[in-house]
Chains A and B, each alone.
Chain A
Amino acid sequence: MYSAMVEKISLLQLFILIFLFQIGSAVVVGIAGEAERDAWIAILIATVIGIIIIRLYTYILSYQPGTNLFDIMGQLFGRNASMIISLVYTTYFFYIAARVLRDFMELLITDLFPNTPIEVLSILFMIAVLYVIYLGPEVLGRTAETFFPYIIIFLLLTAIFLLASGDIKMHRLQPILAEGFTPIHDAIFPGLIGFPFGEAIVLTMFMALTNKFQHVTKVSIGAVIATGLTLSTIKIVSISVLGTELSERATFPLLTAAREIAFADFIERIDPIVIFVMMLGIFIKVSVFFFGGLKGLEYVFQVPYRYFSIPIGMIVALFTILIASNYTEHIEEGLQFVPLYLHMPLQIGIPTLLAMIIFIKGKQKKGGITNAE
C-alpha cells in the first residue's frame, strides 16, 4: 500500500546490523587463535584494517548512492561481465551463510542436542531466516534493533557474573607481546581481515538501503570500531577466564568460559542461555548473507528476490550439512581454503578494482567531485 513498500533502514539499524553481523559467529568460534595470549591486540589492530576496508566499500557505493554493489558493477563492467561476477558473489554469499550456520549448528549439536539430526535444526533455523527475509530488510533491521539491547545486556551480564564469581584473572594475559609481533601478524593476515571484518562486503546491500547515505561512512566506521572493541574485550574475558591453553583448545571458547559462571549459588549453568544469545547474532549474520545472495540473484535474473527465498533457503540449509563431513574438515576449510581463495579476492580484490575504476572515472570527469565524495 503506502510506505510499507519503501524498504528503508535507518542509520541506527545499519549500525546494529554491522555490529551484530561482525560479532555474530566471531563469538562462537574463536578468532585470532594464532596470536594466542595477544589475540586481543591482534583484533584491535585488525579493527584498524577493518575500518579501511569498510571505507573502501562505502567509497564504491558513493559512486551512485542508493544502488547496491551489483548495480554499480553492472554500470562499470557492463551487464554481461557483471552478471558473471554477481553469480560468483551470490554463490560466495550463500556459501558463507551456510558456513556461519554450520558454525552455530556444531555448537548446538555439541552442547545441547547431541542426538538431534543437524538437518532438522538447520532447516528450522533457515525457516526463521526465510520468514524474516521474506518480510523484507526493513523487518530484519527492526528485529535486530529489538534484540540488540538484550544481546548487549547479556554480554555485559556474562562478563559481570564471571567477574563476580572470581573467574577472571587478569594476570593470565601476561606477558604481553612475549613473542613479538610475528604471531599477531600471522593472525591478522589473512585470517582476521577476512573474518569478521572483510565479510562486511555483503553489508553493502544494506548500506544502499539507508535513507541518509551521506552518513553511512561515519556510521559504518563507528560500528566497526565498536565491533573491534567488543571482540577484543570478549577475547580478554575468555583468555583471562580459561587461560591461553584452554582458550585455544576449547572448540567454542566463549561457551566454555560461560560454563564457568557460578554466581551466588543461583546463577549457574546458564550456558544454554548464552548459546541462544549467540544465536541472535548468528541469525542476523545468516540473514544478511542470505539477503545479499538473493539480491544477487535478483540482479542477475531481474526477478524480485522474494521468489527465490524459499527454494534457496532450503538449499542453504542443506548445504550447511554438505559443505563438510565433520567439524574438523569444516574448520580446516575455514582456516585454509576460504580466507585465501574466497575472502581475499572477493573482499579485497574486486572491490579494490572497482574503487580504482571509480577513482579514475572521477578524475576523467575533471574535478569529478560530483559522485565520489
Chain B
Amino acid sequence: MLNKWMKKTVSVSKKNNENSATFNSCIEKTKQKLQDNFGDTSDLFIEEIQIGKQNGLLCCLTSMTDRQKINGAILTPLTDANLHNEQILDESTWEEYCKEFFSAAKHELIQYEHEVIDDILNGNALIFVDKLAKVLSIEVQKIEKRAIEEPSTQTIVRGPKEGFVEDVETNVSLIRKKIKNRHLRFESHTIGSETATKVYLAYVDGVTNQEILTEIRHRLDKLDIHALFDSGNLEELLEDKTFTPFPMLYNTERPDIIAAHLLAGKFALFIDGTPFVLSAPTTFSDFVSMSEDYYLPFLMGSFIRLIRYFAFLIALLLPSLYVAVITYHHEMIPTPLLISIISQREGIPFPAVIEALIMEITFEILREAGIRMPRAVGGTISIVGGLVIGQAAVEAGIVSNIMVIVVALTAISSFVAPIYTFAIATRLLRFAFVISAAIFGLYGVFLGMIFLVAHLASLRSFSVPYLAPIAPFSLQDHGDIFIRLPSWAMKKRPSFLRTENPNKQPNSKSPSPPKKEEGGTDS
C-alpha cells in the first residue's frame, strides 16, 4: 500500500513521459538525468560502481526493492565479475557479460528513458554502464503480501477455504492451480495513468465468446483513469449502464467461484492490490447462487437457493408490504391479528411509515457503525444496538413490537445474499418501496415491482441480458437457476453466455450401479 502512495507522490505520468531518449551518455549525466526525473525523493538510491573496467551506476528505489535480493542478484555477481576485470566497450560485450553473470535473477536490457523510469518505479534495480545505451534491469522487488487466508466475505461451511489476496500473481497462481488447462489465458493490461496497476484478463480460449472478449478488451483499452485501487473502481467503468443499483460485474474473494465462472464461459479480471476479482458477463441469478450450492447434495443446494430468493424478496419488500397493509388494506389482516396489531400500536406517536423509516435508518446506522468502528469497541455495538433497536424502543412506546420483528426479519434476510454489492442494492431499493407503499399502499408496491422488473429487464452485462435465462426464457438453463440439478445432469454451459463450446460434460451419466454392459451412447 505504501509503495503505491510513494508512486503517487513521485507523480510521474507514464504517458506524458513517453520520450525515446536514451542513456548513452557518461555516468554523471545519467545520474543528473535520474535526479531530474525523481527529484530529491529520499528513497532514490544511486551509487557509482565498477563494472569490469568501466564506471557504472546502480539505481533503484529503496522502498520498492529487497536489500537481500540486491545483495544476491547484483552485488555478489558484480564482485565475481569484477574479478575478471573485463572491458565493456560495446553493446554486444555488455550483453554477453550480463548473460554470464546476472542470469540467476530475472533481467533484461532496456534502453529508453520511459522504460527506465517504469522499471525503477516497479522496483527493479538498474545498472548503467558508462557510454552505453543499454541498461540492465534486474528484478529485485520487495514482495510483501498477506498469506492466503479464508475470505472474510462469502464464507461457506463446506468447500475450499482459501481466498484471494492483494497480490495479483498469487491470485493468478491460485486459479492456475485449479484449472490445469492449456487454454486458460491471462492477458496483461496496465491501467491507471498514475498507479499503473496491473490487470489480468483471464479467460478460457475456445470457451468464452469471442465477441464478448473483443468487447472487454476494447473497453479496457478505452479506459482513461488516473488511479485504480480496487476492482470497484474498474467495475463502474466497465458497466454497460451505470445508473442502476445492481452490480453489473460479479466480484468475489473466492478462487473456486472464479474458476467455475471461467469454465462456464465468463472472463475474469484480476486487479493488482485487491483480493476482489471481477467476472462477467453476469446475471441476476449469479448473485443468488453460491459455490456451496454445488458442494452440498443437490436437494439441499436447491432448497438453500430457493430460500435465498425468498430472503431477497423479504429484504426488498417486507417493510413496504407491512406499511401498505396496515395503513391502507386493513381488510387483508385476519381479525385476531388486526386486533393484536392495533393494541400494540396504541399510543405509538408516529405513523407506521415514519416508524418503519426510523427503524430502518437506525438499523442502517448500526450496520455501518458495526463495520467501521475499531475492533476493540466492537462488543459495545451489539449491546447498544440491541438496546436501541429492541426492547428499549418498544418499552419507551416509540415503536411497536411487530415493527421490531419486521425490521429484524428484513435485516436478517438482507444478510442472506452472498455478494455484498448485491445485498446493498436491496437496501437502497427498500427505502424507495417503503415510501411508495406509504403513499399508494399496495398499488405503489406493485407499480414499484413493475418498475424494478422493467429496469432489470433492460439491463445487460456485456450484451448478456441481466435477467437471463428468466427473460429471455431458456428452459435448458433453468437447471441451475432457482434449483440446482445434480451435477451429472448439467451437461451444457449456460446458453445465454453464447460460449464457443456449449458442451461441458456431454457424456456424464447418472451414477447408477452398472446393470449390464455400458451402452455406448455418444453425444
Contact = CB atoms under 8 A, between A and B. Distances in A.
Interface of A: 1-4, 10, 12-13, 108, 112-113, 116, 121, 124-125, 128, 131-132, 135-136, 139-143, 145-147, 265-266, 268-270, 272-273, 276, 279-280, 283
6 A-B pairs with least C-beta separation:
A142-B457, A142-B471, A145-B471, A276-B446, A135-B458, A132-B454
Given A112-B329, A112-B441, A10 B453 contact: no
A120 B446 CA distance: 15
Contacts of A270: 332
Given A124-B440, A280-B450, A142 B472 contact: yes
Interface stretch (B60-68, B151-159, B301-309, B460-468): B460-468
A10 B472 contact: yes
A231 to B, nearest CB: 23
B415 interface: no
Given A13-B472, A124-B440, 10 more contacts: A121-B443, A124-B444, A132-B450, A135-B455, A142-B465, A146-B457, A146-B471, A269-B334, A272-B329, A279-B443
B496 interface: no
A136 to B, nearest CB: 8
A142 B450 CA distance: 11
B101 interface: no
B447 A4 contact: no
B248 interface: no
A145 B334 contact: no
B453 A108 contact: no
B112 interface: no
Interface residues of B, number: 31
A152 to B, nearest CB: 13
B450 A12 contact: no
B339 to A, nearest CB: 15
Given A112-B443, A139-B454, A4 B463 contact: yes
A279 B446 contact: yes
A265 B441 contact: no
A159 B457 CA distance: 30
Interface in B461-498: 463, 465, 467, 470-473
B443 A131 contact: no
Contacts of A12: 472-473
12 contacts: A2-B215, A2-B463, A112-B441, A113-B440, A132-B450, A141-B471, A145-B473, A146-B456, A146-B457, A147-B453, A276-B442, A283-B450
Contacts of A146: 453, 456-457, 467, 470-471
Interface string B319-334: 0000000001101111
Nearest to A133: B454
A135 B443 CA distance: 22
A135 B454 contact: yes
Contact of A139 (B332, B442, B458): B458
Contacts of A265: 334
B451 interface: yes
A123 to B, nearest CB: 11
B463 A143 contact: no
A143 B454 contact: yes
A266 B329 contact: no
